Amino acid sequence: MYLSLIIPAYKEANRISASLEKIFTYLANAPYDSEVIVVDDGSPDNSVDIIREAFAKPISVGALNPSIQTKLIELGTNAGKGAAVQAGMLEAKGAIRIFTDADLSTPVHEIEKVIQAIEKEHYDVVVGSRALEGRQLVKVHQPFYREMMGRFFNMLVQIFVLRGIKDTQCGFKGFRGEAAEKLFTAQKVMGFSFDVEILYLAKKAGYKVKEVAVEWYNDERTTVGAVSDSAQMFLELLRIRKLHK
């Protein structure tokens, strides 16, 4: 298997079907075999039913490209975005493994930048970034207060955990298969700060990490709480170094 695309999903009944259709249409024309793994993080709505329906459509079962495989993983209870991504990464078989948010804030065609960096430039971890190139690739911005909170969080990341990554929280990252196995097996943070932990572990292990500018479109229907989830992320941040002494 060449490419695994992992999608963590929580309460995504209203947008996951459209996202999967875009993904399958894109991968149908790709010159490599691929698998799409959706991990439902205990959604209380009918996300699982919608995902199954999307997988059952002709476009997704090989009518356009028989090399596309699909898998749905159900966590049963809400364990956190980190837990969902971890489950998908460790279930994946791809030589290259990418996770992306269910709303496709970063369009699916941006996976080619990850593939290029891993396949041609020999990086192990590729971080999609909204902070590079003067943020010109951010086509639809978050509300001002969310952007400011994101920048403040990244400042805390630089102070408490690791330096050198300008945007640790963009929900679009890729890994060489071997690196994914090692990093996500060692992962202990299951909430929204798992990205920082994974990057910390990657740097600690000596993996080659590259940050690449990607297109990004804010979706106002975010499931991330501005106050409650931000507080939890900060607490998780403080634990990362202690967890991996």
Sign of the torsion formed by the C-alpha atoms of 48, 171, 127 and 79? negative
pLDDT digits (tens, 9 = 90+) for 187-214: 999 998 999 999 999 999 999 999 999 9
Q: What's the number of domains the chain is made of?
A: 1
Q: What is the DSSP string of 178-214?
A: HHHHHHHHH----STTHHHHHHHHHHHHT--EEEEE-
Most confident of 101-105, 183-187, 236-240: 183-187
pLDDT tier at 225, thresholds 50, 70, 90: very low
pLDDT digits (tens, 9 = 90+) for 28-80: 889 999 999 999 999 999 999 999 999 987 554 445 566 799 999 999 999 99
Tell whether the model's pLDDT for residue 180 goes beyond 90.
yes
pLDDT tier at 223, thresholds 50, 70, 90: low
Virtual torsion, Cα 28, 173, 169, 6, nearest 10 deg: 50
Instruction: Give me the residue label for tokens 């990607």.
Output: 214
Give yes or no for a contact between 173 and 99, defined as CB atoms under 8 angstroms apart. yes
Between these two residues, 216 and 177, which has the higher pLDDT value?
177
- Specify the pTM: 0.88
Can you give the residue range of the structural domain that contains 193?
3-243
pLDDT tier at 12, thresholds 50, 70, 90: very high
Give yes or no for a contact between 240 and 202, defined as CB atoms under 8 angstroms apart. no
| pLDDT score for 245 | 78
pLDDT digits (tens, 9 = 90+) for 87-140: 999 999 999 999 999 999 999 999 999 999 999 999 999 999 987 754 555 645
| pLDDT score for 219 | 72
Q: Assign residue 158 the CATH number of its domain.
A: 3.90.550.10
Give yes or no for a contact between 23 and 65, defined as CB atoms under 8 angstroms apart. no
Tell whether the model's pLDDT for residue 148 goes beyond 90.
no
Which ranges of the chain would DSSP assign to H, the alpha helix?
Answer: 16-28, 47-56, 81-91, 111-119, 144-160, 177-186, 194-205, 228-243
